[in-house]
C-alpha cells in the first residue's frame, strides 16, 4: 500500500503496481538464469558427444585412457580424468595396467549409484593424487558396468563449485555408457 497526497490516503493500486514491477524484475532474472543454465548444459552435452566420438576412434584401452586423460579432459574442461577398473577387490585389469588404478575402497559403496559427486577436497583426493598444479576440489564419479569387472570414470576439477548436489550428471553418465561399450571391444581385442 502506498500513501498518497497530504491526506495520507492509502493507494492500493500504486502499491500493487510497485509489487508487480518487482515481481516482473525477479521473473526476468529467473528467466535469464534458466536460459544461461540451459546454454551451459547444452555446451556440456555437445562436449560429451565430441568426447564420445574421440573415444570411439581409440584402437585399444591404452590409447583410450590417453585420449581420456588428455583430449577428453580438455574438451570437458576437467583438470583430471581417471579410469579405474579392477576384477576383484584390488586386482587391476592387466591390460594397460600402468594407466589403470584399482577403485578406492572408500568409494566402493557409491558404485551402486548412477553417478555421485564428491565436493570436499579430502573426498576428491580419494580419486586423484594431487598434481603439481594443485589439488582436485570437486569430483564426479560415474560407475561403469562391465561383465566381471568393476569400473569407475572419475572427473575432477580444481574448482570446488564445478560439481554440486543436484547437478545434472546425465551427459557424463552417457559418456560412461560409451566407455562401457567400447571397453568390451578393447578388452575382447586383447584376448
Annotated domain spans of the chain: 31-190
Residue 172 banded pLDDT, cuts 50, 70, 90: very high
Model confidence, pTM: 0.76
Rounded to whole angstroms, how far apart are CA atoms 122 and 51?
Answer: 28
Residue 2 above 90 pLDDT? no
Q: Which alpha helices (DSSP H) does the chain contain, by range?
A: 12-56, 61-67, 73-76, 121-124, 170-190
Cα dihedral across residues 60, 66, 67, 69: positive or negative: positive
Taking all residues of the chain, what is their mean pLDDT, rounded to a whole number?
82
Residue 132 above 50 pLDDT? no
Q: For the ranges 31-40, 137-146, 173-182, which has the lowest average pLDDT? A: 31-40
Q: Please write the tens of the pLDDT for every residue from 48-96.
A: 999 999 999 998 888 988 999 899 999 999 998 988 888 765 565 655 5
Question: Quick one: which of 150, 101, 169 has its CA closest to 129?
Answer: 101
Superfamily of domain covering 31-190: GAF domain (3.30.450.40)
Q: What is the pLDDT of residue 9?
A: 57
At residue 131, the 3 state secondary structure works out as: strand
Rounded to whole angstroms, how far apart are CA atoms 164 and 71?
Answer: 24
Distances (CA, A) of 43 to 28, 29, 75, 110: 23, 21, 10, 27
Rounded to whole angstroms, how far apart are CA atoms 41 and 36?
Answer: 9
Amino acid at each position: 500500500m502506498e500513501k498518497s497526497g497530504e491526506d495520507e490516503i492509502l493507494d492500493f493500486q500504486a502499491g500493487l503496481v510497485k509489487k508487480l514491477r518487482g515481481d516482473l524484475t525477479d521473473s526476468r532474472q529467473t528467466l535469464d538464469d534458466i536460459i544461461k543454465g540451459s546454454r551451459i548444459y547444452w555446451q556440456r552435452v555437445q562436449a560429451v558427444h565430441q568426447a564420445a566420438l574421440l573415444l570411439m576412434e581409440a584402437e585399444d584401452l591404452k590409447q583410450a585412457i590417453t585420449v581420456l586423460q588428455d583430449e577428453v579432459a580438455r574438451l570437458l574442461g576437467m583438470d583430471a580424468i581417471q579410469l579405474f577398473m579392477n576384477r576383484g577387490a584390488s586386482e587391476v585389469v592387466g591390460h594397460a595396467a600402468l594407466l589403470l588404478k584399482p577403485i578406492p575402497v572408500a568409494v566402493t559403496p557409491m558404485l551402486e549409484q548412477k553417478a555421485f559427486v564428491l565436493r570436499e577436497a579430502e573426498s576428491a583426493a580419494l580419486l586423484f593424487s594431487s598434481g603439481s598444479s594443485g589439488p582436485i576440489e570437486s569430483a564426479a564419479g560415474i560407475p561403469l558396468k562391465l561383465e566381471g569387472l568393476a569400473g569407475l570414470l572419475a572427473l575432477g576439477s580444481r574448482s570446488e563449485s564445478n560439481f554440486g548436489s543436484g547437478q545434472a550428471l546425465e551427459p557424463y553418465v552417457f559418456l560412461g555408457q560409451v566407455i562401457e561399450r567400447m571397453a568390451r571391444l578393447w578388452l575382447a581385442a586383447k584376448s
